[in-house]
Amino acid sequence: MGAGYAQLLRTRHAARLLAGTLVGRLPNATGPLAVVLFTRAEGGGYVLAGVLSAVYGVSNAVGQPLLGRAVDLYGQPRVMLPAAVISALGMGLPAVTGLEPLPLVYAAMVIAGFFTPPLEGGLRALWPSVLKREDRVHAAYALDAVAQEVMFAVGPLLVTTCVALWSERWALLVINAIGVLGALSVAVSPPSRQWRSGPREAHWLGALRSSGMLVLIASFFFVGLALGSIAVAAVAYADEHGGGMVSSYLLSALGVGALLGGVVYGARQWPGHPENRLRLLVALLALGYVPLALTPGVAGMTLLTGVAGVFLAPALACAFVVVDRHAPRGTVTEAFSWLVTTFGVGSAVGMTVVGPAVEQGGPAAGFAVAGAGGVAALLVLVSTKRFLSPVGDTVVRAAAQVTAETDRNEAVQPGFRAGHQA
């Protein structure tokens, strides 16, 4: 099962790019939990914690596609590294000042979120030039999703470990310092320095002029809403069940479940169109979120969150392939960044909604928000099926021609980036 992944990682630069992106995205992956824990430690309530996380998430959602478009226009190093440093400074400011003055903390969350470097979209833009074969690129999307689940499994444990060893303030500082080092590793790598985006049509909508992209954005908004609500609801659940590491158990179980699901999904080639497969995977994802509202004991809840995560990585990996098929040419980083943006906005809304829900109905109400988000994501895909239809044979033949031309160009010009079809 792991032979294909091992072959990918042996490809020159692949392991470095994957690891650097993973480490560089650590602040973004653990930021909401770190902000909630920090706010609670400073005497703030769940509503304030949710609002601060929401401000961070919305700012991230605004910044990702704009920075992604800047990467497509100006290259990766000139955007990624400065953005990572500015974001880390923004997130570190509350660790120095505390929650007062509150307007300064809000401003810091805006800066930290907006300047989060689009490493995730940047990595997927690099895979074609590094791997050079379409089947390997699709396998890399699955590996990417699996590796991220390692981060989501380990990240919460790292945050709570920093809290246990030092404090919530130090947790904010440590994870962001680590993130800058990851971004630096990617930005100075040869593939990142040599990469250039394909020719693009001048259009103010960029990647959003594709109806398929709009459908994906709408659906994965609700997936992000579910994940954001789970992050806050898990902390509330922990407060009622012994506190301590309980929230980390739940969030790590969610990540481990996604990791296992992603490993199995990426170990083979799946028949049929990825657009149809995505609908099935999101249906299974929604089916896993709904039972979380039962909120049994810690052992049972940990098991439920693990099961709920199983189809997350497969759904993401499949969504990456669908983005690759429907994004307009020359907008690859921006298009992938829009998918990240979807999570940011959805997660921010989920954190905003779940705070009052938890305070009025307890953890069960918070997890019910997650279930509703999963169902809504499925309804979007089902009701807009005609806008996200499988790519026709003509486009497939055109993609094959682009791939052949790319291979010839790469043989002459190292670092030439494979094009993406409209």
Model pTM above 0.85: no
Q: How much is the pLDDT for 3?
A: 57
Q: Tell me which amino acid residue 15 is.
A: A
- What is the number of domains present in the chain? 1
Q: Under a CB-based contact definition with an 8 Å cutoff, are residues 212 and 322 in contact? A: yes
Sequence-ordered strand ranges (E) for 109-208: none
Residue 384 to residues 58, 157, 314, Cα–Cα distance (Å): 25, 39, 21
Q: Phi, psi (5° rounding) for residue 349? A: -65, -40
Q: Under a CB-based contact definition with an 8 Å cutoff, are residues 121 and 337 in contact? A: yes
Domain-embedded: residue 147: yes
Helices 274-289 and 298-308: crossing angle, nearest 10°? 170
- Cα dihedral 262, 268, 272, 273 sign: positive
**pLDDT less than 70: residues of the chain:** 1-4, 134-135, 149, 152-153, 197-206, 244, 329-330, 344, 391-422
Helix/strand number for the chain, H first, E second: 17, 0
Residue 337 to residues 20, 40, 206, 261, 388, Cα–Cα distance (Å): 17, 31, 12, 23, 19
Domain-embedded: residue 378: yes
The enclosing H or E element of 218 equals helix 211-240
Domain-embedded: residue 415: no
Domain-embedded: residue 7: yes
Query: Whole-angstrom Cα distance, residue 225 to residue 347?
Result: 4
Domain-embedded: residue 417: no
Domain-embedded: residue 354: yes
**Domain containing residue 271: CATH number:** 1.20.1250.20
DSSP codes of every residue in 95-128: HHHTT-SHHHHHHHHHHHHHT---HHHHHHHHHH
Domain-embedded: residue 422: no
The enclosing H or E element of 135 equals helix 134-165
Query: Whole-angstrom Cα distance, residue 74 to residue 197?
Result: 9
For 250-267, what is each residue's pLDDT tens digit? 888 887 888 788 888 877
Q: How much is the pLDDT for 112?
A: 93
Domain that holds residue 170: 3-410
* Contact partners, residue 146, CB within 8 Å, separation at least 6: 5, 259, 262, 263, 266, 313, 317
Tokens of 308: 């709920």
Query: Whole-angstrom Cα distance, residue 63 to residue 338?
Result: 10
Helices 312-326 and 211-240: crossing angle, nearest 10°? 160
The vertex-323 CA angle with 156 and 340, nearest 5°, equals 30
Q: In b/e form, how buried is each residue of 301-323, taking b as 16+ CB within 10 angstroms?
A: bbebbbbbbbbbbbbbbbbbbbb
Q: How much is the pLDDT for 408?
A: 38
Domain-embedded: residue 421: no
Q: Tell me which amino acid residue 40 is.
A: R
